[in-house]
Amino acid sequence: MTGGEALLAEIREQPAAWRRLADAHEPITELGARLARDRPALVRLVGHGTSDHVAVYASYALRLLCGWTALGDAMSPALYYGVPAAAPGEVAIAFSQSGETGDVVAWLRAAAEAGARPVAVTNVAGSARAAAAPDATVLAHAGEERSIAATKTYTGMLGAVALLGAGAAGRGAAMAAALRTAADLAEAALPRLEADAARLAERFSDVQRLYVVARGVELATADEVALKLTEVAYVSAKALTATGMAHGPVAALEPGFPVWAVAGDDAALAAVTEAVTRAREAGAPVIATGPAAARIAGAAVTIPTPDAGERLLAPLLSVLPGQLAARALALAKGLDPGTPRHLRKVTTAA
């Protein structure tokens, strides 16, 4: 099996992985309930790369599901400048697919030493990360991921965060059921999404530069789609908030510089449609994906994703076109999508 086929197999395996996670939800939802009893003053979220995108998702999911003040944090103040990593009464959540990223492990230890409750969200039991938070490790249950580009570990960590927040809100079992529904919807949609992604790759096989825009709950999806396109298909893809695009980056747009709009089905959609209008005025072709993709006018390619029912599970489905398009574009360029150049699976550098 080539790397490309391994990547496709892992993309396709996601619904099964989400079902495994739903089956194993109880320790996660119970941890959420325990954390909620202590009413955390602040929840700090850190990660690198794909795991940073999980942190972006968590800053929405944990606020919307259980009302925590959950904010993305930087590790540098603690690691380089001697600032306390956290404070008593806070929860510190570190995300890492491997659980072995050096500075993330160091930050989580520092946060625990500063009196915060450490939580590790990872895919690998027994990792250094897990050891730094032995009684509060959330496992994504995605199974071994062989491709360098993260796919099932990303959506697995999203699902784990949704379960944690729902557990804190006393509705963990309902979220597990919604996760199973999302798995069914994804499984049914995947053949069509694969065909749509192939069509996208054909239309944009020469793309070099691209913006991915979103706002609100789907912002993490924009971040992750941009990273997949960059690391798998070597596109210089940049994620922007739909509103931020108007603050400068719109100037670079031109007919050969597309804008990919991730359209969530909620109040933030207005900002995305406004950004698409600006992109079209600049002559940029538009790619529309997400549950509200059909409501984006004038797109060159439209790939709607299923309505997940539970709003906070929509990002698990809306990232699928990005994963598939990155693979399809890589194949169109003659690249091996499973083994991007210059990359290692585990980045342990401090």
Give, as ranges, the residues between 31 and 60 that touch its own copies (CB under 8 A): 41-42, 44, 48-52, 59-60
Strand 91-96 with 117-122, pairing: parallel
Residue 204 is a binding residue for its own copies (CB under 8 A): no
- The pair of three-digit structure tokens given for residue 188, joined into one six-digit string: 């049914």
Encoded one letter per residue, x for contact with its own copies by CB under 8 A and - for no contact, window 214-243 reads -xxx-x-------x--xxx-xxx-x--x-x
Of the listed pieces 28-36, 64-72, 151-159, 163-171, which binds its own copies according to CB under 8 A? 64-72
With H, G, I as helix, E, B as strand and everything else as coil, classify residue 119. Answer: strand
Nearer to its own copies, 29 or 101 (CB): 101
123 Cβ contact partners less than 8 Å away, ≥ 6 residues apart: 97, 98, 99, 139, 140, 141, 142, 145, 153, 156, 157
d(CA 29, CA 171): 8
Question: How far is the C-alpha of 204 from the C-alpha of 320, rounded, in Å?
Answer: 18
Footprint on residues 131-150 left by its own copies (CB under 8 A): 149
Q: Does 343 bind its own copies (CB under 8 A)?
A: yes
- The CA-CA-CA angle for residues 289, 343, 96, to 5°, reads 70
Under rule CB under 8 A, residue 152 binds its own copies: no
* Residue 2 sits in the site that holds its own copies (CB under 8 A): no
13 binds its own copies (CB under 8 A): no
Task: Tell me the C-alpha distance between 243 and 298, whole Å.
Answer: 19
68-87 residues in contact with its own copies (CB under 8 A) are: 69, 71-74, 76-77, 79-81, 83, 87
For residues 274-303, which are near its own copies according to CB under 8 A?
274, 278, 281-282
Shortest Cβ distance from residue 63 to its own copies (Å)? Answer: 5
Kindly tell me which of 18 and 95 has the beta carbon lying closer to its own copies: 95
Burial class (CB in 10 A: 0-12, 13-18, 19+), 53: buried
- In the complex, the smallest distance separating the C-beta of residue 174 from its own copies, rounded to whole angstroms, is 19
Question: CB under 8 Å to 256, separation ≥6 — which residues?
Answer: 206, 207, 208, 209
Site residues for its own copies, 96-115, by CB under 8 A, read 103
Shortest Cβ 98–its own copies spacing (Å) = 11
Residue range at the interface with its own copies (CB under 8 A); choices 130-138, 159-167, 263-271, 293-301: 263-271
Cα torsion at 143, 144, 150, 151 (round to 10°)? -40
